[in-house]
Amino acid sequence: MAVPARPLSEINEQAIRLLVREMGPADAVRFCGQFTTGYGDYTKERKELFKDLTIEDIEAAIEAAREGHNSN
């Protein structure tokens, strides 16, 4: 028995409705977001963003963020 193929747009719509119903809108969006490829050139952006920082600077910033997060 052959089952007719449904349009992908219809399948996606049903899947999103299911996710939102079962997980809530925020978690459904987070779940779907992991499957997007993003845009831009991360390597180029990262080099530009961190060009004036040392590893020690980055490590200190991470530790400061952790301490600030743990104090809340």
In contact, 28 and 16? CB cutoff 8 Å: yes
Least confident among 30-34, 39-43, 48-52? 39-43
Q: Whole-model pTM?
A: 0.47
Q: What is the mean pLDDT of the chain?
A: 90
Residue 26 has a pLDDT of 94
